[in-house]
Chains A and B, each alone.
Chain A
Amino acid sequence: MSTNNVMENVKLTAKDFATNQDVRWCPGCGDYSILAQVQRVSPDLGIPKEKFVWVSGIGCSSRFPYYMNTYGFHSIHGRAPAIATGVKLANPDLSVWVAAGDGDLLSIGGNHFIHACRRNVDMKVILFNNRIYGLTKGQYSPTSEKGKKTKSTPYGSIDFPFLPVNMAVASGATFVARSMDRDPKHLQAMMLRAAAHHGLAFIEIYQNCNIFNDGAYEPLTDKETKADNVVVLEHGKPLIYGKNNDKGIRMDGMNPIIVDLSKGDYSVNDLWVHDEFDENPGRSFVLAHFADLKDFPTPVGVFRQIQKSTYDGDLFAQLDEVTKQKGKGDLANLFRSGNTWEVS
């Protein structure tokens, strides 16, 4: 059975995926948009409502399952990928989703995250990256930029941040994408793509915390500056950005270079053409690395999508295979395996 059984009878709506619980995020929080987009696309996934399981850890965004009218598990800090793995292995027929913040997924839960990616468990992991600890009221996170002044770093943080996309790619995730809370259309598109992927799908969502880290992504989301700071990745298309679509990225060996398309030195044909399905992860790293390069635009979209066997698929295949070889287990025989003797 697949999780993509088309619902033939009643088409659900976004409202069917909302619970009667009051949503308790701060007014203006980026989480509202993410919740809205998820509820909007969920009816279109062709998955019966009872087969969704949302698993989370601890943090503002981890309240997410309480607001989704599906099965949900608000667990403990960092452990959502491990709990979700257990859910999927218990019943591979379920569509398993993880909602996690940057502290939850990358700090305390970093180990579970990379191992879930490595195993390619068929589940979706949605990272709400606001680059701050919100629920504990404003300490820096593993994605906070170096030098950031927060309540726990009054003189500036001396930590280098993680690039979550790189972590996911390096760990073996088979679908890796990035989107933003303030771009609902793009976010919905990414959700649909992730849902359709068979294997571990990871979406990093840049999410604004308007209380403790307001405006962290403003240059990427503000109408005035967005075009110059964001490059939208599309398969088979060149990396072009800028208000007038006049900037592009070309590769010089493994080094990306920004070129000006308006001066006649370079044309579209000279640019890096994005290939989502590239088996070589190298280009994904280069793309993610733009964040560390001065003046480079931030890529959003699907960085990478490849096909590999899933852990859950292989597990059940092995159960079937061994059962075929040995026959269905019989307790009486099992008890008597090895040497036995009779006392009469």
Chain B
Amino acid sequence: MAKDFEVQVLEAVTVRFAGDSGDGMQLTGSQFSNTTALFGNDLSTLPDYPAEIRAPAGTLYGVSGFQLHFSSLEISTPGDSPDVLVAMNPAALKVNLKDLKPGATIVVNENAFDAKNLKLAHYDLNPLEDNSLAGFNVIMVPLSKQTAAALEGLQLSVKDVERTKNFFALGLMYWLFDRPLEPTNAWLESKFGKKPVYLEANKRALTAGYYYGENTEIFSTRYHVAPAKLEKGSYRSISGNEAVALGFVSASVKAGIPLFLGSYPITPASEILQELSNFKNFGVKTFQAEDEIAGIASAIGASFAGNLAVTTTSGPGLALKSEAIGLAVMTELPLVIVDVQRGGPSTGLPTKTEQSDLLQSMYGRNGESPVPILAAATPSDCFDMAFEACRLAVKYMTPVFLLSEGYLANGSEPWKIPDVASLAEIPVNYWKDTETYHTYARDENLSRPWAIPGTPGLEHRIGGLEKAHIYGTVSYVPENHEFMVRMRDAKVKKIQDDIPDLEIMGDEDADLLVAGWGGTYGSVTEAVSNLRKKGYKIAQVHFKYIHPFPKNTKEVLSKFKQILVPERNLGQLSKLLKAEFLKNVIEFNKIQGSPFKSSEIENKIISLFGGENVN
């Protein structure tokens, strides 16, 4: 039966799966991602789903999407504009059409384009019939009917049959992009091993979709994206939230003390709590507290008693934790606070990404309350930065922020699995010596001793009231207060000596420096790389340490005539850079709940070059 199809070799493809929030698009997308990762492509994903769990079917606001960029080269973003859209219904088509590349391929479930769904999507005319999609390569597939045919004879409800159509679509995409079915079949075996009818149904739908591509002539071309030449090693696919969880477990192992997580579920941070709750055989204690405050308060208690304590949240939760963070600053206890940022203020955009909690982390407490701030750059970097946050917290006896964001947390990419032996040791030395102990004595790092309850002879009291230098008794002495305020500040600044310098990427002799932080890394890197290939001279730095800034920041910034700071807020890093280095920067801000497209940054850079194309 197999026909000869033209096989076109592509360097990179961006695919977006879109449907109702009940259509299983996140699952479909993540299955495609896993298979693609196993196939050896570099990849980056962008799940995009509504805050409502099951919005009414067929509506525009109920559309859930999963975008995936995969390549035979190294890539750093989930792709600007999809080459292929799989739209399960009219609403999914309508919501996503504006994002597509000109001439993109659109695979639609034609069975879903009935009067009711068209009306729900506010289409007066059927877009499949009114020629409005003329600029695209529209492939109409009777997805629902074909799935139903494939599942004939199985004891399944109409609803269950309908719910299986995403696997038909997945099978079809596997055929189109020349991917194997085995990884998804293996996953189905593990998922539905005890429910044979569902296993059979999903396998049948997947296979039927695959052969639908093979046996019909809807596509004249198949596409081949060769494996990427990644650095040698073992890889797995990892999301930012999974990476944070693994980073914490690793830090616990390397520190030789148990991990304690006090947390309250909140989108998009909950997966860290869920992941860590699996790791009980590592001695990991997860405490799902009654609220955000109890989450951090329990972690502070656990830290006082000697555990490696962490708390995880998102913006609104961070607001609730503010007072307790101040307590951790005052009591100088190690604690890592993960903020997986989302659109704000208030409840804001719970499922959308943003970078707008930087100033909250920096200043969102009463009094002079300095806390180190780290920001992860990519999903896999979340592992390194979670580990690093623990290292700094313990070494400097301080709370430490780790800023992630929805896009890193839910997005995934290949992760080169580190060699366990290569991970740094995190020395923990609980204080034991009763002769020399003072609660607020300080070592060369300005850290106070960690003397944990249960240690004979070191009974002491800590708390939120100002304490006397060295002795740690309550002190209202004015000079002591100023001394301690300055001491806490100096301690955090001292971390500068312990973190890497900023590294200038690209053209060191350029006039323009593009300075990103956190989750803008991918888009900025891709934009700078694309333009440099075209002959633009551009330098790039990326801030993963924001408080304190790397030691050479001032020197680096002084080298460039123009500094562009793209960030997804109203200029929070820009404000910090201007305030600390008296350096004018050009702000480039986007606050739309999604990452920068690299083309947006490219266009901004080109405009700074006077709009000239240097070619």
Contact = CB atoms under 8 A, between A and B. Distances in A.
A74 B454 contact: no
Interface string B362-392: 0000000000000000000000000000000
A79 B462 contact: no
Given A50-B458, A86-B302, A341-B40, A74 B463 contact: yes
A336 B37 contact: no
B462 A72 contact: yes
Given A86-B300, A86-B301, A336-B236, A322 B457 contact: no
Interface stretch (B90-98, B192-200, B280-288): B280-288
Contacts of A328: 281-282
A321 to B, nearest CB: 8
Given A50-B453, A85-B287, A323-B280, A340 B464 contact: no
Interface string B451-466: 0111111111111110
B454 A94 contact: yes
A48 B453 CA distance: 11
Contact of A51 (B297, B303, B453): B453
Contacts of A323: 280-281, 283
Contacts of B260: 86, 89-90
Interface stretch (A62-70, A139-147, A187-195, A257-265): A62-70
A65 B281 contact: no
B453 A76 contact: no
A4 interface: no
Given A73-B461, A75-B464, A339-B37, A332 B420 contact: yes
A149 B262 CA distance: 41
Interface in A316-340: 318-319, 322-323, 325-329, 331-332, 334-336, 338-340
A87 B301 contact: yes
Interface string B38-76: 101000000000000000000000000000000000000
A306 interface: no
A138 B235 CA distance: 64
Nearest to B258: A90
Interface in B244-296: 246, 249-250, 253, 258, 260, 262, 279-283, 285, 287, 289-291, 293-294
Interface in B7-40: 34, 37-38, 40
Contacts of B234: 336, 340-343
B569 interface: no
A93 B453 CA distance: 10
A90 B249 contact: no
A48 to B, nearest CB: 7
B445 interface: no
A71 interface: yes
Given A50-B459, A73-B462, A112-B290, A89 B237 contact: no
A89 B285 contact: yes
A52 B299 CA distance: 19
B512 to A, nearest CB: 34
Contacts of B281: 319, 322-323, 325-329
Contacts of B232: 343-344
Contacts of B417: 335-336, 340
Interface stretch (B139-147, B305-313, B487-495, B538-546): B305-313
A53 interface: yes
Contacts of A91: 305-307, 452-454
A85 B463 contact: no
Given A74-B462, A74-B465, A341 B301 contact: no
Main secondary structure of the interface of B (DSSP, over half): mixed
B446 interface: no
A115 B287 CA distance: 12
A93 B279 CA distance: 22
A1 to B, nearest CB: 10
A339 B420 contact: no
Nearest to A92: B305
B453 to A, nearest CB: 4
A256 B235 CA distance: 71
Contact of B298 (A68, A86, A325): A86
Given A73-B461, A318-B280, A339 B231 contact: no
Contact of A55 (B282, B289, B301): B301
A75 B307 contact: no
Given A50-B454, A75-B297, A65 B463 contact: yes
Nearest to A91: B305
A86 B246 contact: no
A: interface residue count bin: 35 or more
Contacts of A76: 297, 323-324, 326-327, 464
Given A65-B461, A86-B298, A90-B302, A79 B38 contact: no
Contacts of A88: 301
A343 B233 contact: yes
Contacts of A340: 234-236, 417
A315 interface: yes
Nearest to B40: A341
Interface residues of B, number: 70
B312 to A, nearest CB: 15
Interface string A15-32: 000010100000000000
B297 A82 contact: yes
Given A76-B323, A334-B249, A84 B294 contact: no
Contacts of A267: none
A19 B474 CA distance: 13
A93 B454 contact: yes
B230 interface: yes
Contacts of B227: 343
B297 A112 contact: yes
Given A91-B454, A329-B281, A75 B327 contact: yes
B127 interface: no
Contacts of A339: 34, 37-38, 183, 236-237
A74 B461 contact: yes
Contacts of B294: 79, 82, 85, 111-112, 115
Interface string A38-57: 00000000001111110100
Interface in B416-444: 417-418, 420
B605 to A, nearest CB: 32
A163 interface: no
Contacts of A315: 285
Contact of B459 (A69, A111, A112, A343): A69
B450 interface: no
B407 interface: no
Given A75-B463, A339-B236, A341-B235, A89 B298 contact: yes
Contacts of B304: 73, 83, 86-87, 90
A35 B279 CA distance: 42
A279 to B, nearest CB: 25
Contacts of A93: 454
A257 to B, nearest CB: 39
A83 B297 contact: yes
B473 interface: yes
Given A74-B464, A94-B453, A82 B231 contact: no
Nearest 8 CB-CB pairings of A with B: A86-B301, A74-B463, A329-B282, A86-B298, A90-B305, A82-B297, A72-B461, A82-B294
Interface of B: 34, 37-38, 40, 183, 227, 229-237, 246, 249-250, 253, 258, 260, 262, 279-283, 285, 287, 289-291, 293-294, 297-307, 309, 323-324, 326-327, 331, 417-418, 420, 452-465, 473-474
Given A74-B463, A334-B249, 7 more contacts: A49-B459, A76-B326, A91-B305, A94-B454, A329-B253, A335-B236, A335-B418
8 contacts: A19-B461, A75-B327, A82-B262, A84-B301, A87-B302, A331-B249, A331-B420, A334-B249
